[in-house]
Amino acid sequence: MGQRVLERSPAARRVFEEASEAVGMNLTKLCLEGPPERLTATENAQPAIVTCSVACLAMLEEQGLQPAAVAGHSVGEFSALVAARVLTLSAAVRAVRKRGELMASVTAPGGMLAVMGLDEARVRELCQTASQGGILAVALHNSPGQFVLSGEHAALERFKQLALSSGARECVLLQVSHAFHSPLMGQILEEWRAVVAGIPLRMPRYPVVLNTTARPVKTLVCIRRSMVDQLICPVLWMQCVQALVGMGVTRVLEVGDSKVVSSLARRTEPSLQTATVDAFL
């Protein structure tokens, strides 16, 4: 993760150095050498993802690029808040490190399931049927034909069978440790709320569209509320993309070590021009 940008950009290397110092962990070594099981542990993955994204941002800023607006998917929202100058890099990586530690501490068993090929109304209907009094929620609204469910294992299995019999193209269990973005994260909600209350924030330099509302942020109170709510509420990525288009955005650049989010944006709004940082390396 991040190898090419680290090789090519002094600014990116400085980002990794600052983030490593902030969390007391060599993120450069972790991202380049792993091992994979350590890198993918959520308490490590979250600061690594944010650091890699901000390193890519630093490289782009070296080349004179500036955003018209920003948004981030799930933990990527913290990277977007750094891009908008709401958070410092150090504050962001410390926050997501703690967020990851808290998430990893959740004892309630659960998982996540991606479903492709059903519309939102049908997914919601099947979710309600499959829950049967248990915990099951639509956690990620990725694109018009792709949603992710989060909840108890038995409810996910019931949903999978219902979805496939209802014409879903594919259902895939995600390799995650917990039921993120669901009420099962409620166990750590108050502790995370206390952490968020202590994070220093500034008003954004650029518009930020938030995952929990799919609207441009108006106040710092809204940002703090979204940071907390995102733990148990769905990521409205599809709606965020639609909001950006409504604001006049015509081009989306994915800032990070992935091509997934820009692909989801293009599926949501085919008129968008999309690119990744590979074009600038």
Provide CATH code, domain 111-177.
3.30.70.250
State residue 204's pLDDT score. 97
Output 133 or 32, whichever has higher pLDDT: 32
In the chain, where does DSSP find H-type helix? 3-8, 10-23, 27-33, 36-39, 42-62, 76-83, 89-105, 120-131, 153-165, 189-197, 220-229, 237-246, 260-268
User: Is residue 233 helix, strand or coil?
Assistant: coil
Which of the four pLDDT bands, split at 50, 70 and 90, describes residue 175? very high
Catalytic-role residue among 73, 181, 182, 262? 181
Catalytic-residue membership of 153: no
Average pLDDT of the segment spanning 247-269: 96
* pLDDT surpasses 90 at 135: yes
Average pLDDT of the segment spanning 1-26: 96
Question: 43-74, pLDDT tens digit by residue?
Answer: 999 999 999 999 999 999 999 999 999 999 99
User: Is residue 272 helix, strand or coil?
Assistant: coil
* pLDDT surpasses 90 at 171: yes
For residue 159, the Cα-to-chain-centroid distance in whole angstroms is: 23
**CA-to-CA distance for 277 and 281, rounded, in angstroms?**
7
Cβ atoms of 235 and 139 closer than 8 Å: yes
Question: 181-224, pLDDT tens digit by residue?
Answer: 999 999 999 999 999 999 999 999 999 999 999 999 989 999 99
State residue 21's pLDDT score. 98
State residue 229's pLDDT score. 98
Q: What CATH homologous superfamily does 3-106+184-231 map to?
A: Malonyl-Coenzyme A Acyl Carrier Protein, domain 2 (3.40.366.10)
Fold agreement between 3-106+184-231 and 111-177: no
State residue 133's pLDDT score. 87
**CA-to-CA distance for 279 and 259, rounded, in angstroms?**
12
Q: In degrees to the nearest 10, what's the CA dihedral of 237, 242, 247, 250?
A: 100
Residue extents of the structural domains in the chain: 3-106+184-231, 111-177
- Alpha carbons within 13 A on the beta-carbon side of 152: 11
State residue 224's pLDDT score. 97
Q: How is residue 62 written in tokens?
A: 């070296």
Catalytic-residue membership of 74: yes
